[in-house]
């Protein structure tokens, strides 16, 4: 039978002195210094957007939003979609229904936007990865293309109660929305960061404290969090709705069980977080269209990490790339990705 954790013990709540408004803001956010004024950035990003339209003739608005997300990540900016769209129109693009386009001369020379990025060294070339893929895939005919996975390197300070601090860094895959580690000659992902990103601070912190292998009731949760019964019930209902927790009736009380395991680092000092720092990087020009689309912005990631880890200040977020080979089965259209550093399939 499932083991149930309950308690009826009294407890003492320790309250830390309230941080000043300035200190709290410093702890949870990081100042981003732009090298350009907003008008200058809009002009640069507008030219890049125009080059995309020049190549494809037209783009749907979803693709334009994706392009803007990539550019905001690249330039560490927060240009709004409306301003970006207005700049494209100002530069000659035309908006119609859900598409934006330019009148393209058939004789115009094709132009591809390239941007320099730090890229992980390639230990396995296309031919070597193809040999590995043939042994692990059962496909007879497939096509291979090169893509680049963005990886966000987050530098931060961890403050102690006496005002001192230490520095560390972590790496996040914004496509999978998981922490990325280098362990035992393999890339390893955290489990659950993508699942918890939509929850607010109270929900998120309680969720990460829940026992993974035993049942628990509201009394246990009350001691764990100091929240009231109504709030705890509502929180558990949200977790159940997200498919993370199940509920059983045991007599007059509800007992909850975590049904989706979480493995998200809760200590910002954890050494494994900086494990990618030893990987050699080289500057390369990469075509934007070959970079996989991120599913979380830098600002959203900044907020998420600041909620998981208290008393940190994010100093900087940089984008680096990992070269991968995409295999597509011609019969089923299934896709498999292999990284060029270890030659492993990306799970």
* Model pLDDT for residues 326-338, shown as the tens digit of each residue: 999 988 989 999 9
Q: What percent of the chain has pLDDT over 90?
A: 52
Instruction: Indicate if the pLDDT at residue 345 is higher than 70.
Output: yes
Residues 339/122, Cβ–Cβ less than 8 Å = no
DSSP designation for 191: B
Q: What is the pLDDT of residue 278?
A: 92
Q: Which residues does 58 contact at the CB level (< 8 Å), separation at least 6? A: 99, 100, 101, 102
Check: pTM over 0.85? Answer yes or no. Answer: no
Q: What is the pLDDT of residue 53?
A: 82
Beta bridge partners of 58: 101
DSSP characters over 279-335: S-EEEEEEEGGGBPPPSS-HHHHHHHHHHHSSSEEEEEEEEEEEEEEEEEETTT--E
Average model confidence (pLDDT) across the chain:
84
**Nearest alpha carbon to residue 221 among 1, 3, 7:** 7
Report the pLDDT averaged over residues 207-234: 91
Q: What is the pLDDT of residue 112?
A: 58
Q: What is the pLDDT of residue 35?
A: 56
Distance CA 249, CA 242 (A): 19
Q: What is the pLDDT of residue 14?
A: 34
Distance CA 245, CA 259 (A): 5
Report the pLDDT averaged over residues 54-71: 84
Instruction: Indicate if the pLDDT at residue 269 is higher than 80.
Output: yes
* Model pLDDT for residues 285-322, shown as the tens digit of each residue: 998 889 999 998 888 999 999 989 988 999 999 999 99
Q: What is the pLDDT of residue 105?
A: 54
How far lies 322's CA from each of 1, 63, 255, in Å? 46, 22, 44
Burial of 317 (0-12, 13-18, 19+ CB in 10 A): buried
* Model pLDDT for residues 63-94, shown as the tens digit of each residue: 899 889 988 888 888 899 999 999 999 888 88
Instruction: Indicate if the pLDDT at residue 3 is higher than 50.
Output: no
Q: What is the pLDDT of residue 47?
A: 87
What's the alpha-carbon Rg for the chain, to the nearest Å?
Answer: 24
Q: Is the dihedral of CA 119, 124, 126, 132 positive or negative?
A: negative
Start-end of H helices in the chain? 21-28, 38-56, 61-75, 81-90, 126-136, 193-196, 201-209, 218-225, 229-241, 298-308
Report the pLDDT averaged over residues 6-12: 37
């Amino acid at each position: 039978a499932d083991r149930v954790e309950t308690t009826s013990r009294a407890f003492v709540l320790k309250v830390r002195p309230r941080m000043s408004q300035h200190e709290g803001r410093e702890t949870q956010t990081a100042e981003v210094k732009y090298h350009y004024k907003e008008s200058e950035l809009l002009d640069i990003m507008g030219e890049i957007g125009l080059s995309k339209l020049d190549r494809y003739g037209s783009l749907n608005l979803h693709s334009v939003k994706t392009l803007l997300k990539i550019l905001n990540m690249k330039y560490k900016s927060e240009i709004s979609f409306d301003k970006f769209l207005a700049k494209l129109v100002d530069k000659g693009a035309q908006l119609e229904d859900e598409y934006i386009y330019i009148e393209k001369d058939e004789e115009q020379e094709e132009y591809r936007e390239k941007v320099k990025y730090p890229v992980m060294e390639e230990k396995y070339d296309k031919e070597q990865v193809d040999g590995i893929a043939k042994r692990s895939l059962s496909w007879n005919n497939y096509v291979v293309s090169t893509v680049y996975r963005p990886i966000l390197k987050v530098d931060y300070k961890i403050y102690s109660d006496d005002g001192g601090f230490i520095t560390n860094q972590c790496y996040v895959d914004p496509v999978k929305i998981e922490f990325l580690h280098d362990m035992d000659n393999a890339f390893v992902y955290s489990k659950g960061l993508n699942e918890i990103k939509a929850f607010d601070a109270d929900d998120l912190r309680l969720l990460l404290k829940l026992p993974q292998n035993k049942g628990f009731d509201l009394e246990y949760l009350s001691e764990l969090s100091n929240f009231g019964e109504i709030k705890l019930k509502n929180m558990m209902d949200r977790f159940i709705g997200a498919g993370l927790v199940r509920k059983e009736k045991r007599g007059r009380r509800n007992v909850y069980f975590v049904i989706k395991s979480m493995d998200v680092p809760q200590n910002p000092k954890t050494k494994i977080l900086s494990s990618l720092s030893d990987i050699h990087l080289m500057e390369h020009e990469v075509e934007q269209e070959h970079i996989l689309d991120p599913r979380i912005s830098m600002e959203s990631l900044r907020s998420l990490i600041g909620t998981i880890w208290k008393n940190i200040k994010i100093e900087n977020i940089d984008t680096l790339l990992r070269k991968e080979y995409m295999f597509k089965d011609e019969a089923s259209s299934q896709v498999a990705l292999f990284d060029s550093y270890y030659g492993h399939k990306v799970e």
